[in-house]
Structures are given as structure tokens and as C-alpha cells.
Amino acid sequence: MSQVYPRVALIGLGLIASSMFWAMKRRGVAGHVTGYARSAQTRDTARRIGLCDTVCDSAAEAVRDADLVVLCVPVGAMGVVAAEIGPHLKPGCTVTDVGSVKKTVIEAVAPHLPEGVQFVPGHPLAGTEHSGPESGFASLFDNRWCLLVPVEGTDPQAVETLTTYWQALGANVEVMDAEHHDLVLAVTSHTPHLIAYTMVGVADDLRRVTDSEVIKYSAAGFRDFTRIAASDPTMWRDVFLNNKEATLEILGRFTEELFALQRAIRTGDGDHLHAYFTRTRAIRRGIIEAGQDTDAPDFGRAKTER
């Protein structure tokens, strides 16, 4: 695989940025990669583990001469970072981000970018419940989707090159508009996370069932929720504050449906429950056929030899 960008700058060095770095190294996707993180401790860690070819002590220094700048900070910090790097960007370079919300990120970042710089917002749909510079790995994006959300007036060539870049990192790329992105993610990610956080919070809070009981007996279903609810709190706070509208819409639909099922339980309407539970099986089948999950029982946690 040949080089896509001679120089890439990663701003923010968490799970996504560190995975991008190892994925770039795996196939020689970039000539030279600089990195910057606000915390000195994170920069030290990055230097220690060889994350980035050069770790810089300022964002301005990191983006100098970069052909691609990737904003890998929480959604709520994007505007501040854009203001910081704006004056130091190389003319004609591409700026992208990896934020889970697109409308508010575009509003926060675009005004700070000088003319001639190409802004192509992006969102790789990949992650784990771990965070920080040491949690990254090269295959995180393999066969995952990366959504690009170009703004009006962007040079199609810049979008095309960024597409090639993400494909070289292992991802499949799709283009959609910001508003639709935010709604789709409210369904597939943001609302599920909020619900998982809520369920884990309830379990933790209950006086009549102890935490140690919840922990011991979690294999009955609960532990899948706890994995999601172990994700980075700052990232998720920012997601909900910045995708308020779509999340509240899906939450509204969710509680409506939940109340209908709750009513079926209360009135003993077994047919309603059975029909509902049968319908949801088909979606699972679709996800497995689309290669987005394993069919192995329990996500392959189970060793199924007889």
C-alpha cells in the first residue's frame, strides 16, 4: 500500500488516535505522523510507547506542514482546538475529525479554518470500552464503517483522498449529511449508551440488591450493559450535550415502546410479548450477515466444544 498523505497530525491521543497511528504504520499510509495531547502525562506516555513519530508540546507545532490534521478530542473541545490550530495550518491541507456528533462539530470548527483549507468531518464507527493512548491497536477499523460528512464547497478531491486514507486504515467509507448522521447515531449508538448507563446506575443504586450480588450474577445479561457503560465519561457527556435533539427524539420513541411492553406485562398479554421478541431476532441475523458481529455464542466468550 502506498502513502496517502506525506504528513499527518493527530490532535488528541486517545483510543482512536492511537489506533489510527498503529493502523497507519501497519501499511505505510503516512510518511510522518506528529501528535499532540493537552495533558503532559499523555504526551509522556506517547513518547514512551512510540506513539507518533514526533510528539509535540503544542497543537500549533504539531499541525505545521501537515497535509492531514485529525481532531481526536472530545466533541466539546473541538472548537477550542480549531481556534488554536487555525492560524498554523498549511494552505490547502485537509482537516478532519473523529467526533461522534457532526452538526455541532461543524458549527464549532468551520469558522476557525482559513480559506483554502479543506474541512471534511468524519466519524469512524469503531471503539472499545477502553480509553487513553495505550488502548489503541492497528485493527480497530478493519471492516468497520467510517462516515464522512463533507460541508458545502469542499473540493471533491479532498473527500476522495480522505476516503482512500480511511480505506487504507481498513475501514469502509460512506458519505452522508450531518443531520442524518446525527439521527442514525442516536439510534445505533447514543440512545443505547444512555440506556446502558441508566440500567447500570439503577443496579448500583438499589438498596435491596447488593452490588456484590449484581456483580456475581451479571452473566445473566447485565454484563453486556456494563461494558457499554464503562466507556469514557467525558466523551459521552459531550455526545449527549451535542446531539440533544436526535437523542431526545429517539428516547421519546423508546419510552413509548417500553411503556407498551410494560403494559403487556402488567395485563399478562403474552401474545404481544412473544410477537415483539420474535421480530427483534431478525435484526440480529442481519447484523451477523453484514459482517458487523460474530455469530459465536456470547460474542465468542463461550468455548463451545463438547
Tell me if 228 contacts a copy of itself by CB under 8 A.
yes
For residue 276, give the C-alpha cell: 415483539
C-alpha closest to that of 118 among 92, 144, 139, 89: 92
- Convert residues 29-58 into a mask of x (bound to a copy of itself by CB under 8 A) and - (unbound): ------------------------------
Q: Smallest distance from the beta carbon of 167 to a copy of itself, in angstroms?
A: 16
With respect to a copy of itself, which residue has the nearer C-beta, 165 or 240? 240
201 lines the binding site for a copy of itself (CB under 8 A): yes
* Closest approach of a copy of itself to the CB of residue 120, in Å: 19
Interaction between residue 224 and a copy of itself (CB under 8 A): yes
Total length of the chain: 306
Residue 200 binds a copy of itself, judged by CB under 8 A: yes
Max Cα separation, the chain? 67
Q: Which is nearer to a copy of itself, 57 or 179 (CB)?
A: 179
Binding status of residue 286 toward a copy of itself by CB under 8 A: yes
Region 97-156 residues binding a copy of itself, contact defined as CB under 8 A: 100, 125-130, 135-140, 144-145, 147
How are the residues of the chain apportioned to helix, strand and coil, as percentages rounded to the nearest 5?
55, 10, 30
Footprint (CB under 8 A) of a copy of itself, residues 247-276:
247-248, 250-251, 253-255, 257-258, 261-262, 265-266, 268, 270, 273-274, 276
Total interface residues for a copy of itself by CB under 8 A? 116
Which residues, 6 or more positions from 79, have their beta carbon under 8 angstroms from its beta carbon?
A: 108, 109, 112
77 is a site residue for a copy of itself (CB under 8 A)? no
Residue 7 Cβ vs a copy of itself, minimum distance, rounded to whole Å: 21
192 forms part of the interface with a copy of itself (CB under 8 A): yes
Closest approach, Cβ 268 to a copy of itself, in A, equals 6
Nearest distance from C-beta of residue 16 to a copy of itself, angstroms: 13
Identify whether the C-beta of residue 55 lies closer than 8 Å to the C-beta of residue 75. Answer: no
Nearer to a copy of itself, 40 or 302 (CB): 302
Helix axes 270-289, 244-267, angle to 10 degrees: 140
**Rounded CA separation 247/89 (Å):** 34
Q: CB of residue 133 vs a copy of itself: minimum separation in angstroms? A: 12
Contacts of 174 by beta carbon, 8 Å cutoff, 6+ apart: 145, 146, 147, 148
Q: Is 174 in a helix, a strand, or coil?
A: strand
Whole-number Cα distances in Å, 78 to 90, 95, 173: 19, 12, 22
Beta bridge partners of 124: 146
